[in-house]
């Protein structure tokens, strides 16, 4: 996996052609409160777009009230580039009464959401605990926590609280930037594709042959929660799926794979196949049907074959051909 880097004017001039060779994603500071627009954000956004690096944006919060938080959020939306994949409010110092910081942060996020944006919260490790920032309802949480000897490498001091992005260093390095940068890593169920809005390129999507749906198999790569709906909410958790279990893939939605009866993060699945044995001699078919015209060859009874998918009309996909499930048993 490449690097996830957050950048602001302090990084100076960036060679984005070099930057793109190491970066999977960037997060660009757009403003420092409403009064100060980051003088480099437009240059950075243009460089990232020109070199194919997906990016989100963050706004350093300086709001003094709930009403002021809404204004800052609106200014943020107006300034950020249209190609921005997600938006973050950065709340790491108290600029409003302590009793209002959660409500003001929530108001900021609600403005972003009302504009149809994916909205996250960045806040300090101690600040999160001191001011009950866990009460903020955000689409994702981003937390910094460094080791004492911050040498730019990932380490064991993971944030104490649940978070989706972990800023593990403020002394990292990346091609194209002369000085230090903040480095981040995924920490939780959400995949990189969830942040960038891409369909997981490594996961084979369901296809259709005429009216028949073809559902490829996926394997769970680590113990992970299944959710009742396509989101990552704690309230929708159903049960833990075990590493090695195999399911049909009904398609990706919001960074999760539908597996029949629930959804699992695309981060924790991979393409796979199963092995099935024929229970009698049986024809394969070039299309998912049992028509005589589509017959290809006979599989002998008692032979085993790799199967890569199942269809909506009860056939297995064996290589590029199809066999009725009535004549095969999964091993």
Confidence of residue 80 (pLDDT cuts 50, 70, 90): very high
Residue 306 predicted with pLDDT over 70: yes
- For the chain, list the domains and their CATH numbers: 3-188 (3.20.20.80), 207-271 (2.30.30), 274-330 (2.30.30)
Confidence of residue 201 (pLDDT cuts 50, 70, 90): low
Rounded to the nearest 5°, which phi and psi values hold at 33? 70, 175
Residue 281 predicted with pLDDT over 80: yes
pLDDT value of position 197: 86
Q: Region 236-252: what's the mean pLDDT?
A: 95
Query: Could you identify the residue written with the tokens 């074959």?
Result: 305
Query: Could you identify the residue written with the tokens 């190609």?
Result: 83
- In sequence order, the β-bridge partners of residue 69 are none
Residue 1 predicted with pLDDT over 80: no
Token pair, residue 64, equals 């003094």
Q: Which of 42, 55, 132, 150 is nearest to 91 (CA)?
A: 132
Residue 30 predicted with pLDDT over 80: yes
Give residue 117's Cα distance to chain centre: 15
| Beta-carbon contacts of residue 61 (< 8 Å; ≥ 6 apart) | 33, 69, 72, 89, 90, 91, 92, 95, 105, 108
This prediction has a pTM of 0.81
Residue 202 predicted with pLDDT over 90: no
Q: Region 279-304: what's the mean pLDDT?
A: 96
Residue 199 predicted with pLDDT over 90: no
């Amino acid at each position: 996996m490449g690097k996830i880097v957050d950048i602001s004017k302090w990084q100076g001039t960036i060679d984005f052609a070099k930057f793109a060779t190491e970066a999977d994603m960037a997060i660009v500071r757009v403003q420092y409160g409403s009064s100060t627009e980051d003088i480099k954000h437009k240059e950075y956004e243009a460089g990232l777009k020109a070199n194919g690096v997906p990016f989100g944006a963050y706004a350093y919060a300086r709001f003094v009230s709930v009403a002021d938080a809404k204004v800052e959020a609106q200014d943020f939306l107006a300034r950020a580039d249209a190609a921005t994949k997600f938006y973050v409010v950065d709340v790491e110092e108290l600029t409003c009464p302590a009793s209002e910081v959660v409500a003001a942060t929530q108001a900021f996020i609600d403005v972003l959401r009302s504009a149809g944006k994916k909205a996250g919260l960045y806040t300090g490790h101690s600040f999160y605990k001191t001011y009950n920032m866990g009460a903020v309802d955000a689409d994702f949480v981003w937390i910094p926590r460094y080791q004492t000897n911050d040498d730019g490498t990932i380490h064991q001091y993971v944030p104490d609280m649940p978070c989706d992005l972990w800023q593990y260093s403020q002394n990292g390095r990346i091609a194209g930037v002369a000085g230090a940068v903040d480095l981040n890593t995924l920490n939780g169920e959400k995949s990189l594709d969830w942040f960038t809005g891409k369909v997981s390129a490594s996961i084979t999507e369901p296809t259709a042959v005429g009216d028949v749906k073809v559902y490829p198999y996926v394997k769970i790569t680590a113990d992970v929660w299944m959710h009742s709906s396509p989101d990552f909410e704690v309230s929708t958790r159903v049960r833990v799926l075990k590493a090695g279990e195999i399911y049909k893939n009904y398609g990706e939605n919001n960074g999760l794979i539908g597996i029949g009866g629930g959804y699992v993060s695309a981060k924790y699945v991979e393409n796979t196949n199963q092995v099935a044995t024929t229970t009698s001699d049986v024809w394969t078919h070039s299309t998912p049907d049992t028509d005589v015209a589509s017959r290809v060859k006979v599989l002998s009874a008692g032979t085993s074959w790799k199967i890569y998918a199942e269809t909506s009309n009860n056939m297995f996909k064996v290589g590029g051909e199809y066999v009725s499930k009535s004549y095969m048993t999964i091993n």
